[in-house]
A and B are shown apart, each in its own frame.
Chain A
Amino acid sequence: SQQGEEDPQALSIQEGENATMNCSYKTSINNLQWYRQNSGRGLVHLILIRSNEREKHSGRLRVTLDTSKKSSSLLITASRAADTASYFCATAWNDMRFGAGTRLTVKP
């Protein structure tokens, strides 16, 4: 069964704008990870945030984690057309459980 739930399901923005995606989950975690998937291909790991961390940055990506609310957010700043993809959060305990994803479209 899937664990995380991403919100929104779909997001369409203009190039240069910021994109924010949210993930809610239900059980305890060791860490939470975000992945990107282009057009039904393999997933690419973006960032991992541990359960004792609150915020993490990687390039144009910023991830926050609130374990008390069981939620995380992924912010992509200054988006580009190449960021168009599906984004998944995955909650990690003994294994990883993925949500249904947010489909991001960045228009040139």
Chain B
Amino acid sequence: ETGVTQSPTHLIKTRGQQVTLRCSSQSGHNTVSWYQQALGQGPQFIFQYYREEENGRGNFPPRFSGLQFPNYSSELNVNALELDDSALYLCASSLRTGAYEQYFGPGTRLTVT
């Protein structure tokens, strides 16, 4: 059984640029959630996808968008990057929608300069 993987591990971008982060869910999981974790803080919920449709969203602006593919891999896209977007981005997959046990990937560390 393959765990949740994320790519890239680290990324440095310039303010105003766009970025795409990728996640491969655990085998058999049809739900993926994305979180932003600033240094010293807990993860903040960005959105959740279930069967390729957005299934809930946290308090993040529209420049944060996502996709889930038929194989349940997913992407997080962030447009017009701001310095405050610097954080660890975590994806987590689960067997069901809503709020059940989630399996997290190792994260992508994004630095915006």
Contact = CB atoms under 8 A, between A and B. Distances in A.
Q: Which label, helix, strand, loop or mixed, suits the secondary structure of the B interface?
A: loop
A40 to B, nearest CB: 6
Given A30-B99, A33-B101, A43-B90, A95 B56 contact: yes
How extensive is the interface on chain A, given as a class?
20 to 34
Contacts, number: 71
Interface stretch (A12-20, A62-70, A72-80, A97-105): A97-105
B92 to A, nearest CB: 8
Contact of A45 (B59, B103, B107): B103
Given A88-B42, A95-B99, A100-B42, A1 B105 contact: no
Interface stretch (B14-22, B43-51, B61-69, B70-78): B43-51
6 contacts: A2-B42, A2-B44, A42-B4, A43-B102, A45-B104, A95-B33
Interface of A: 1-2, 4, 30-31, 33, 35, 40-45, 48, 88, 90, 92-101
